[in-house]
């Protein structure tokens, strides 16, 4: 592996290490919120636009993941059916209400909103709706990026109840390219996945102290069919994506 690839991986490792120090309190609070939702037989919804939507899919029906996780998915704000159009849509006011109307989010649920830049209209609207409902809103974002991009305006971190800074720079990419002003090696997806899985792992560990947590098993592991079938029967009426 060459030096540039090493530099990218080193940059990720440095940021992941920093998370343990600087975001420990926020991540612990997020895990507490997930535990509270689980103990009340409530749900954790995950919303993101563009590449951030991948974190919603990351926790959906995931081996080792909590079955109470519900992704909020809409093609218009994802990249697979039109990346250019989705970029326009995520910056357009008023599009999230009809999307969230398809999900019965209650005040006892948790809503995780993922937005690296933290300033686009769609994630801000999602967070505001969550606040109006009264559920706990958790933001996974870059404070450096959102502070630079907001230019004094409102950002996701201003709305959420719990804010977790992923530590990525403005623009996301962390590898400088010689002779240009460009950078490569985006970091927000890798770090975001680590954040949300760390939160869920902490929550699952807490839940295991009082019984068996609602965890999916990998389909190829012994007992997976029976375990996962029971969880699907329990959550399918409230998760439109199962």
pLDDT tens by residue, 207-238: 999 999 999 999 999 999 999 999 999 999 99
For 149-173, the pLDDT digits (tens) are: 998 999 999 999 999 999 999 999 9
Tokens for 75, please give them. 């093609």
Provide the 8-state DSSP code for 218.
P
The C-alpha atoms of residue 100 and residue 97 are separated, in whole angstroms, by 5
The C-alpha atoms of residue 193 and residue 227 are separated, in whole angstroms, by 24
Tokens for 184, please give them. 């490569």
pTM of the model: 0.97
Identify the three-state secondary structure at position 71: strand
For 57-101, the pLDDT digits (tens) are: 999 999 999 999 999 998 888 899 889 878 888 888 999 999 999
Tokens for 8, please give them. 């990218």
The C-alpha atoms of residue 239 and residue 242 are separated, in whole angstroms, by 6
Handedness of CA 57, 59, 60, 63 (dihedral sign): positive
Count the Cβ atoms, other than its own, within 10 Å of residue 48: 29
- Specify the pLDDT at position 234: 97
Q: Which domains does the chain have, with CATH numbers?
A: 3-238 (3.40.50.10490)
Identify the three-state secondary structure at position 113: strand
């Amino acid at each position: 592996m060459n030096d540039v690839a090493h530099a990218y991986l080193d940059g990720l490792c440095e940021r992941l290490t920093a998370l343990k120090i600087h975001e420990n309190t926020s991540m612990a609070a997020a895990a507490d919120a997930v535990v509270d939702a689980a103990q009340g037989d409530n749900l954790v919804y995950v919303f993101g636009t563009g590449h951030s939507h991948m974190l919603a899919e990351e926790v959906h029906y995931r081996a080792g993941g909590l079955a109470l996780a519900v992704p909020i998915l809409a093609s218009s704000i994802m990249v697979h059916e039109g990346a250019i159009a989705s970029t326009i849509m995520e910056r357009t006011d008023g599009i999230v209400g009809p999307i969230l109307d398809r999900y019965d989010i209650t005040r006892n649920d948790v809503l995780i909103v993922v937005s690296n830049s933290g300033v686009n209209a769609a994630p801000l609207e999602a967070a505001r709706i969550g606040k109006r409902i009264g559920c706990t809103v958790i933001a996974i974002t870059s404070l450096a990026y959102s502070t630079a991009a907001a230019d004094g305006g409102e950002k996701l971190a201003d709305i959420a109840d719990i804010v977790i800074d992923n530590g990525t720079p403005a623009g996301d990419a962390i590898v400088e390219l010689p002779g240009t002003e460009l950078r490569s090696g985006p970091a927000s997806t890798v770090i975001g996945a680590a954040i949300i899985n760390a939160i869920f792992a902490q929550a699952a560990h807490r839940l295991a102290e009082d019984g068996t947590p609602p965890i999916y098993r990998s389909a190829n592991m012994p007992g997976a069919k029976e375990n996962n079938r029971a969880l699907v029967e329990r959550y399918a009426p409230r998760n439109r994506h199962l």
